[in-house]
Structure 1
């Protein structure tokens, strides 16, 4: 379980990215696919729309352990979120997160029996955050190589 401060830190890093790579076990190997966040705040759970009929839904229902990775290379920010996925078919929850962007993927509308949400309840997260510019990073790497040390490239922390 993540603390309130930890969820706030994660949301600050993943909200601007918006799209995460959802990885799950498909029965033979790990598979990843891009998924767009649909929420405006984060309380420890991530929400993504999906078609109930999609293969990933069956895969995830057989093995609910998933990972979602977010990356913003321009800011040197990387986040890995591990959690347990559930399928949400409750119409009021679908209504809460429905928007014009989502409707493009579901032309049959939000009341279609094929519309669902994947809810990922986070139990562990890790992030890497390097506020330095490329020039500063290059300097740190060069200095570390000269001194035979490991460069300090920013903050890395496990949460949960």
Structure 2
């Protein structure tokens, strides 16, 4: 994520990383702890993450929320702010339902609720340390800012 990357390029990188490892820590801003959840992406709604849960899950009541994401190789990090609400569109529910989701709900779709996390802002970090920075990590030395990761703040991810 270089300084010249557009918000669309940054969003595309984030969405690709989430597809590779679809797990976030998410929690409402009500004082309860965050919990790990599996997220789904609807290509037509890139500013939203979808999360199946039980009807009594702590995020099911909805409200302002924060989610944190770490890429598989610990090379990409995101902190997302937004709002959780119930997704009421049955077509979206049916489209995102699959065998991996069904495994968590013994009584099928009746036990599940689809939550929608609408992202209002995000901070994204990509840890792409240069070759010279990696050598300094191995043999000692101070990594210059130009050799380390990049950071972006965006109003939304699309």
* Bin of the TM-score, shorter chain as denominator length: 0.7 to 0.9
Q: TM-score, normalised by structure 1?
A: 0.76
2:3 is matched with: none
How is 1:88-103 mapped onto 2 (pairs within 5 angstroms)?
88-103=87-102
2:39 is matched with: 37
* Inter-partner Cα distance in structure 1 for 2:53 and 2:12: 26
Gaps of 5+ in 1: none
Q: Structure 1 residues 87 and 153, CA, compared in 2 at 3 Å: closer, same or farther?
A: same
2:79 is matched with: 80
Q: Structure 1 residues 151 and 73, CA, compared in 2 at 3 Å: closer, same or farther?
A: farther
Gaps of 5+ in 2: 1-6
| Cα-to-partner distance string for 1:66-112 (whole Å, 9 max, x where unaligned) | 111111262421111111111124332211110000001111112x1
CA shift for structure 1 position 51: 1.1
Runs of 4+ in 1 over 3 A off after TM superposition: 3-6, 133-138, 140-143, 149-152
Secondary structure at the aligned position of 2:12 is classed as helix
Q: TM-score, normalised by structure 2?
A: 0.77
- Report if aligned partners of 2:132, 2:147 keep a CA contact under 8 Å in 1: no
Aligned-residue Cα RMSD (Å) equals: 2.9
Q: Structure 1 residues 135 and 102, CA, compared in 2 at 3 Å: closer, same or farther?
A: farther
How is 1:137-152 mapped onto 2 (pairs within 5 angstroms)?
137=134, 139=136, 142-144=140-142, 152=147
- Report if aligned partners of 1:137, 1:153 keep a CA contact under 8 Å in 2: no
